[in-house]
C-alpha cells in the first residue's frame, strides 16, 4: 500500500521534509513528534527542502528523485515534488 502526496505551491507544507513526516505519521497513526527515529537521524531535512527548491527553480526539466528508508517505509521524492511513502517489502 502506498500513499502519494503531491507537493505544489499550495500544498499543506510546501516542504518535502514536512510532507514526509506528515505522511509517515499518518500511516503510523501518531503525532509527527512521536516518530522514532526523527527524520534528521536518517536524512538532512534542510538538504531535502533545498534540493526540491533548487529543482523547482530550474528553468529546464530535471528528472531526478531522492529515495531513502524511514520508519519502515520506502520514501521517494520526485523532482516534480511528488512524495511517495510505501510500506517496505520484506522480500
So what's the pLDDT on residue 54? 61
pTM: 0.77
So what's the pLDDT on residue 22? 92
Q: Write out pLDDT tens, residues 3-60.
A: 555 444 334 557 889 999 999 999 999 999 999 999 999 999 999 888 877 655 555 5
Which residues have CB under 8 Å from 40's CB, separation 6+? none
Amino acid at each position: 500500500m502506498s500513499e502519494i502526496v503531491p507537493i505544489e505551491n499550495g500544498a499543506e507544507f510546501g516542504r518535502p521534509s514536512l510532507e514526509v513526516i506528515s505522511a509517515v505519521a499518518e500511516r503510523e497513526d501518531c503525532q509527527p513528534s512521536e516518530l522514532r527515529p526523527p527524520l534528521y537521524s536518517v536524512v538532512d531535512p534542510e538538504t531535502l527542502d533545498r534540493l526540491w527548491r533548487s529543482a523547482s527553480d530550474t528553468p529546464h526539466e530535471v528528472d531526478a528523485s531522492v529515495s531513502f528508508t524511514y520508519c519502515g517505509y520506502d520514501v521517494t521524492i520526485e523532482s516534480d515534488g511528488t512524495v511517495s511513502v510505501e510500506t517496505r517489502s520484506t522480500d
